[in-house]
Amino acid sequence: MTATGTAINAADLPFANSFAELPPAFYTRLMPTPLPAPYFLAASGKAARLVGLDPASLASEDFVALFTGNQVAARAKPLAAVYSGHQFGVWAGQLGDGRAILLGELDTPEGPLELQLKGAGKTPYSRMGDGRAVLRSSIREYLCSEAMAALGIATTRALMMTGSDQGVLRESVETASVVTRMAPSFVRFGSFEHWFYRDKPDELRVLADYVIARFYPELAAEPNPYQALLAEVSRRTARLIAQWQAVGFMHGVMNTDNMSILGLTLDYGPFGFMEAFDAEHICNHTDEQGRYSYANQPQIGHWNCYALGQALLPLIGTVEATQDALDVYQPEFARAIDVLMHAKLGLMNTEDDDRPLFDKLFSLMQDSHVDFTQFFRKLGQLQARPAGEIAVSDAAVRDLFIDRTAFDGWVAQYRARLAREDRSDSARKAAMDLVNPKYVLRNYLAQVAIDKAQNKDFSEVARLLAVLERPFDEQPENEAYAALPPDWASHLEVSCSS
């Protein structure tokens, strides 16, 4: 629907495409490859409304054809962008949109959003790939994009998903799916590295100027706008990763081609949410060295900013100025995680000894493999001055620990700390419930939805999204979605296969 309430035809969507106005070296114009007999799988009402579309209309044949790539809107200028990147710490050379096709951008009150079809066929950058995405990985991307947005974490969005019975070969034959993603821009760190490693300073500058003019206009007036860009991207990346740590999100493939120049969570593959706490947890089965483990994410974020800094160095001018911009990262991360940890523990003030209190907690959680999400959520129920026997009143959270004596020791310290703040239990719980989600996209929840969808029942995808859209709310009817993973889930493995 438009603002005036008239329905828009799929073919008439008023696409613009500012990226297509860059010189042709930055992309290849091409049409998506149609899929046979596409069908509607799911749409995000919240994402649809962002771009002024009526979610109900997305299930229509026209929109399904458009967002599968079987039809192209008159004003779209489909293209695949080129980029390179460091994969698992090693320079990988040219990658590019191997299976993502940008249609163009739609205006929103918060600025234009680009719409991109992921899985819409081969591009000149597909290398050995088939240009497709399987149902399994598309469901994961669709659900997690919207779940992260609901958690208040910067991310690309997912507008809708379509499917086709066309077979797609991975470890076994699966079926094809297309996710329509949305973001102000899909430019990555690797988009800049591409021109640096090809020794093309002119293109490097064109891209940087485009990104600054369009997404960071306030930086254009800085004495060194490119240095300011690197500093701002480092700041946003640090903040983003602090938010990931605070909800136990692990990206799984933090290659520089998956790092957004806008500080968005980008490219959902073998991600995971921390369950039984283990700082060394590796969510991506393919990541044998644990480069992208939970504990490593903050320093990898910094490493990736270094890769961007290397690429921007010719524009920034000196190593010192580049280093200064990169030095923004660590203090920003420390500040952001400190604020988030205080909020997670329901602490309003900061004291010198808070850090050891947090560290001790994580070490106890590690020893007892405590479920990350359940622990923080249940901690909100703790009474600062319990009336009866402590073991009874603390049971909800205490019973998560194997070593309950150790937990009692920590909780005594925590209570002493709470006693120095003037806030009622109910006010503290209400504040904690706004930052400690009850519902996250546990791997097994996604797997249940995937298994059903592979049998043509898409209802669980919709139902799960409805739960994850309200992660901080108590949803008594959906209590089961907050449960610990069942035994069968301990065998679940997610890899780069998608």
113-118 vs 100-106, strand pairing mode: antiparallel
157-169 vs 39-43, strand pairing mode: antiparallel
Closest-approach residue to Mg ion (CB): 267
- Reply yes or no on whether 327 is catalytic: no
- DSSP H helices in 198-296: 201-215, 225-247
Chain positions contacting ligand AMP, by CB under 6 A = 95-99, 126, 129-132, 253, 258, 267, 269, 496, 498
Residue (129 or 356) nearer to ligand AMP, CB: 129
**Which of ligand AMP, Mg ion, none binds 131 (CB below 5-8 Å, type-dependent)?**
ligand AMP
Q: How far is the CB of 455 from Mg ion (least distance, A)?
A: 29
Residue (436 or 498) nearer to ligand AMP, CB: 498
Tell me which residues in 235-264 interact with Mg ion (CB under 5 A): 258
**Which of Mg ion, ligand AMP, none binds 59 (CB below 5-8 Å, type-dependent)?**
none
**Which of Mg ion, ligand AMP, none binds 153 (CB below 5-8 Å, type-dependent)?**
none
Residue (253 or 445) nearer to Mg ion, CB: 253
How far apart CA 153 and CA 110 sit, in angstroms, is 17
User: Token match 């937990």: residue?
Assistant: 407
How far apart CA 450 and CA 439 sit, in angstroms, is 18
Residue (253 or 432) nearer to Mg ion, CB: 253
How far apart CA 237 and CA 26 sit, in angstroms, is 24
Burial code of 143-159, b = ≥16 C-beta within 10 A, e = fewer?
bbbbbbbbbebbbbbbb
Q: How far is the CB of 282 from ligand AMP (least distance, A)?
A: 16
Tell me which residues in 50-109 interact with Mg ion (CB under 5 A): none
Residue (186 or 481) nearer to ligand AMP, CB: 186
Q: How far is the CB of 95 from Mg ion (least distance, A)?
A: 7
Residue (130 or 354) nearer to ligand AMP, CB: 130
Per the CB < 8 A criterion, the answer to whether 27 and 82 are in contact is yes
Site membership for Mg ion, residue 433 (CB under 5 A): no
Residue (44 or 258) nearer to ligand AMP, CB: 258
Q: How far is the CB of 254 from ligand AMP (least distance, A)?
A: 10
Q: How far is the CB of 449 from ligand AMP (least distance, A)?
A: 20
Per the CB < 8 A criterion, the answer to whether 248 and 440 are in contact is yes
Q: How far is the CB of 243 from ligand AMP (least distance, A)?
A: 21
How many C-beta atoms surround the C-beta of residue 243 within 10 A?
20
What burial class does residue 423 get, using C-beta atoms within 10 Å of its C-beta: 0-12 exposed, 13-18 middle, 19+ buried? middle
Site membership for Mg ion, residue 267 (CB under 5 A): yes
Q: How far is the CB of 272 from ligand AMP (least distance, A)?
A: 15
Per the CB < 8 A criterion, the answer to whether 72 and 13 are in contact is no
Tokens coding 51: 């771009």
User: How many residues line the site for Mg ion (CB under 5 A)?
Assistant: 2
Per the CB < 8 A criterion, the answer to whether 155 and 264 are in contact is yes
Tokens coding 143: 């659900």
Site membership for Mg ion, residue 114 (CB under 5 A): no
Tokens coding 88: 């698992």
**What is the 8-class DSSP label of residue 208?**
H
**Which of ligand AMP, Mg ion, none binds 496 (CB below 5-8 Å, type-dependent)?**
ligand AMP
How far apart CA 498 and CA 491 sit, in angstroms, is 18
Residue (126 or 166) nearer to ligand AMP, CB: 126
How far apart CA 270 and CA 283 sit, in angstroms, is 7
Per the CB < 8 A criterion, the answer to whether 380 and 346 are in contact is yes
**Which of Mg ion, ligand AMP, none binds 304 (CB below 5-8 Å, type-dependent)?**
none
Q: Determine the straight-line distance between the first and last CA of the chain, rounded to whole angstroms.
A: 33
Active-site option among 54, 130, 257, 403: 257
Q: How far is the CB of 119 from Mg ion (least distance, A)?
A: 13
Instruction: Tell me the residue type at 430.
Output: A
- Residues 6 or more apart whose CB falls under 8 angstroms from that of 143 comprise 158, 441, 446, 449, 461, 464, 465, 468
- Report the chain's C-alpha Rg in angstroms: 23
Residue (45 or 98) nearer to ligand AMP, CB: 98
Q: How far is the CB of 257 from Mg ion (least distance, A)?
A: 5
User: Token match 């297509």: residue?
Assistant: 20
Please list the active-site residues: 257
Return residues touching Mg ion (CB under 5 A).
258, 267
